[in-house]
């Protein structure tokens, strides 16, 4: 349904909206905007839908939010008809779900795969974006009134800068960019570098295959058992029968968008035995909701330490070798201030005779040679390397696109000292460009699907408002943005989160500014703020009629 505009004599496809990325955010954005009659084109660099779940195919990859909750709520038929097999669906099942959604809502005709968005330039004379794509080695430009960056928070896999890595002669994998063919480690000596969530999920699975597994740990992480199990028909039915209320509570009442009991007291309000019993209950139930045992675990060091001590004691109980147990016990950050991990047998895996933990906290990895990883002056011979070294989170995928806003200023120039947005949705000087779950919104601190749906609905409503009122351009007011950035920081620094060197802070990328990127005020409060802004005629955003009269894009 695109129109053709003539730009410099060349025919250029013109859309109402270009969406970058066909993960859960991009797919729902396409669905919503198309429902409103807009012409939309989605560009996706992979050859399939699913985003994070398309790329993260490493052994043991699973969601860390229960699947009945980590799923779309916008279609009741979908949530009533889809069957999740397990409490935490494995990656192939989540990808199957993404493909089912793409087919069910006939999204594919408007998605162009194997296409990277390289550049987006705002034309102030037409209030339109000129978007340059590359596909099969060829560049092409299209135009759009709106650009929506649905690029994902954890999609820019980060290769570590380790001396000798490129000369290694064995197999090299990154958990965030796993091959699409099966990888078999049977009989191989494998090294896993990193001990974040991806390593914690994959280490037990790799250990079961490899002849020997060496895990290189720079920072120990807290992990809670998943207690994964097949979902029973009764469990599924309990959700299906109560979905509207469960979804409402997750959206409005919870901080992290996950339906659970809300704690009514702090950790120090209970005596030792009572507190331990509560932690035991949460530990045996498993999963991220461990941190919901009390209402002040993210706020009060002494309260937090009771939970951290409980988990450290569990590690000591599980891991037979006291020295290894000690290394696995995190001591340098409050529990939950880095994303807490959810595992199946991670700590117990270190009891296997074919698994070695190497502490590289003091000196890191010295270098990688043709067939070994050297750390602390010692060589560990390996056939395969698994880099579980994480992502340039939240801003990495946006930064890879060369975005020019008003006066030719680039987004990378503007964000050189850290990302600045109003509500995590728009950045001043970049009209009609929206970010889904961008920095300054709850995003990675929440059940991502809840946050994605909220942003998509808000953006779709906003675009509807602009069109109904004849506004051609909308952008964040610099003052509103400054106030929001200050608020995001103020709320973050009222918690224990900034005490950790986490990817929330950009601390995993050398040279990246240390700014607490997600908004920690909770999804319920945040949704209310966004709704209020919209109800007040998009307060803090400047709306303007056409810069110069242009023909409306096809729709």
Report the C-alpha dihedral over residues 393, 453, 76, 68, rounded to 10 degrees.
30
Our CB check for ligand NA7 shows the closer of 60 and 390 to be 390
**Which residue stretch of 34-42, 195-203, 247-255, 547-555 sits at the interface with ligand NA7 (rule: CB under 6 A)?**
195-203
- Collect all residues with Cβ–Cβ distance below 8 Å to 395 and sequence separation of at least 6: 415, 419, 439, 506, 517
Our CB check for ligand NA7 shows the closer of 163 and 265 to be 163
**Which residue stretch of 130-138, 213-221, 314-322, 464-472 sits at the interface with ligand NA7 (rule: CB under 6 A)?**
213-221
Site for ligand NA7 in 495-514 (CB under 6 A): 503, 508
Q: Is 152 in the site for ligand NA7 (CB under 6 A)?
A: no
Q: Which of 13, 33, 162, 433 binds ligand NA7 (CB under 6 A)?
A: 162
Q: Which of 22, 388, 515, 517 binds ligand NA7 (CB under 6 A)?
A: 388
Nearest-approach distance from CB 158 to ligand NA7, in angstroms: 7
Residue nearest to ligand NA7 (CB): 196
Q: Is 196 in the site for ligand NA7 (CB under 6 A)?
A: yes
Q: Which of 36, 104, 135, 160 binds ligand NA7 (CB under 6 A)?
A: 160
SS3 content of the chain, % helix, strand, coil (to 5): 35, 20, 45
> Are the C-beta atoms of residues 457 and 32 closer than 8 Å to each other?
yes
| DSSP conformation letters of 198-242 | HHHHHHHHHHHH-SEEEEEESS---EEE----BPPHHHHHHHHHH
Our CB check for ligand NA7 shows the closer of 375 and 476 to be 375
Nearest-approach distance from CB 390 to ligand NA7, in angstroms: 2
Size of site (CB under 6 A) for ligand NA7: 23
Question: Between the CA of residue 275 and those of 386, 486, 535, what are the distances in Å?
Answer: 39, 36, 43
Beta bridge partners of 499: none
Q: Is 328 in the site for ligand NA7 (CB under 6 A)?
A: no
Instruction: Determine phi and psi for 457, rounding to 5 degrees.
Output: -65, -40
Our CB check for ligand NA7 shows the closer of 447 and 508 to be 508
Our CB check for ligand NA7 shows the closer of 38 and 523 to be 523
Q: Is 193 in the site for ligand NA7 (CB under 6 A)?
A: yes
Our CB check for ligand NA7 shows the closer of 145 and 393 to be 393
| DSSP conformation letters of 503-535 | GGGTTTSTT------S--S-HHHHHHHHHHHHH
Our CB check for ligand NA7 shows the closer of 266 and 364 to be 364
Report the C-alpha gap between 293 and 265 in whole angstroms: 9
Binding mask 347-386 for ligand NA7 (x = CB under 6 A): -----------------xx---------------------
Q: Is 330 in the site for ligand NA7 (CB under 6 A)?
A: no
Question: Between the CA of residue 356 and those of 111, 172, 173, 332, 349, what are the distances in Å?
Answer: 45, 19, 19, 22, 10
| Nearest of 315, 327, 393, 401 to residue 357 by alpha carbon | 327
Report the C-alpha dihedral over residues 121, 122, 125, 128, rounded to 10 degrees.
110
Give alpha helix (H) positions in 105-143.
none
Our CB check for ligand NA7 shows the closer of 128 and 333 to be 333
Q: Which of 140, 177, 218, 400 binds ligand NA7 (CB under 6 A)?
A: 218
Q: Which of 21, 257, 334, 390 binds ligand NA7 (CB under 6 A)?
A: 390
| Nearest of 182, 187, 156 to residue 383 by alpha carbon | 187
- Collect all residues with Cβ–Cβ distance below 8 Å to 306 and sequence separation of at least 6: 267, 268, 275, 279
Our CB check for ligand NA7 shows the closer of 79 and 217 to be 217
Residues that bind ligand NA7 (CB under 6 A): 154, 160, 162, 175-176, 193-199, 216, 218-219, 339, 364-365, 388-390, 503, 508
């Amino acid at each position: 349904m695109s129109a053709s505009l003539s730009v410099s004599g060349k025919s250029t496809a013109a859309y109402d909206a270009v969406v970058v990325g066909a993960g859960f955010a991009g797919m729902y954005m396409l669905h919503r905007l198309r429902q409103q009659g807009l012409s939309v084109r989605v560009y996706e660099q992979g050859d399939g839908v699913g985003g994070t779940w398309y790329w993260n195919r490493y052994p043991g990859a699973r969601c860390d939010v229960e699947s009945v909750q980590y799923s779309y709520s916008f279609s009741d038929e979908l949530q009533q008809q889809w069957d999740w097999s397990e409490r935490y669906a494995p990656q192939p099942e989540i990808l199957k779900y993404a493909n089912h959604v793409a087919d069910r809502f006939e999204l594919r005709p408007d998605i162009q795969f194997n296409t990277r968005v390289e550049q987006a330039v705002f034309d102030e004379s037409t209030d339109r974006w000129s978007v340059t794509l590359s596909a099969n080695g060829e560049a092409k430009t299209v135009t759009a009134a709106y650009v929506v960056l649905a690029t994902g928070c954890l999609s820019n896999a980060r290769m570590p800068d380790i001396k000798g890595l490129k000369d290694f002669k064995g197999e090299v994998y990154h958990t965030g960019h796993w091959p699409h063919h099966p990888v078999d480690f049977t009989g191989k000596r494998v090294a896993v570098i990193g001990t974040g969530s991806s390593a914690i999920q994959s280490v037990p699975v790799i250990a079961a295959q490899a002849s020997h597994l060496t895990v290189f740990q720079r920072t120990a992480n807290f992990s809670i058992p998943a207690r994964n199990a097949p979902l029973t028909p009764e469990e599924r039915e309990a959700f299906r029968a109560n979905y509207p209320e469960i979804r409402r509570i997750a959206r409005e009442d919870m901080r992290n968008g996950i339906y659970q009991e809300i704690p009514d007291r702090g950790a120090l309000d209970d005596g030792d035995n009572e507190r331990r019993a509560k932690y035991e209950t949460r530990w045996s139930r498993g999963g991220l909701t461990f941190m919901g045992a009390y209402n002040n675990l993210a706020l009060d060091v002494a309260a937090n330490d009771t939970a951290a001590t409980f988990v450290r004691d569990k590690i000591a109980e599980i891991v037979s070798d006291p020295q290894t147990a000690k290394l696995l016990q995190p001591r340098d950050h409050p529990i939950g201030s880095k994303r807490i991990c959810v595992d199946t047998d991670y700590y117990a895996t270190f009891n296997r005779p074919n698994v070695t933990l190497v502490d590289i906290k003091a000196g890191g990895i010295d270098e990688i040679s043709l067939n070994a990883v050297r750390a602390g002056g010692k060589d560990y011979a390996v056939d395969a390397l698994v880099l579980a070294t994480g992502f340039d989170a939240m801003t990495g995928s946006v930064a890879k696109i060369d975005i020019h806003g008003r006066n030719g200023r680039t987004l990378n120039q503007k964000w050189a000292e850290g990302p600045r947005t109003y509500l995590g949705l728009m950045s001043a000087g970049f009209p009609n460009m929206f970010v889904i779950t961008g920095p300054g919104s709850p995003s990675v601190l929440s059940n991502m699907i809840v946050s994605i749906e909220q942003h998509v609905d808000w953006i779709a409503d906003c675009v509807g408002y602009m069109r109904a009122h004849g506004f051609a351009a909308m952008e964040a007011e610099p003052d509103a943005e400054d106030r929001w950035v200050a608020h995001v920081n103020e709320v973050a620094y009222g918690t224990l989160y900034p005490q950790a060197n986490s990817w929330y802070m950009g601390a995993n990328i050398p040279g990246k500014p240390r700014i607490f990127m997600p908004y920690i005020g909770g999804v319920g409060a945040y949704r209310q703020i966004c709704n209020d802004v919209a109800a007040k005629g998009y307060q803090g955003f400047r709306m303007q009629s056409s810069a110069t009269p242009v023909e409306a894009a096809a729709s």
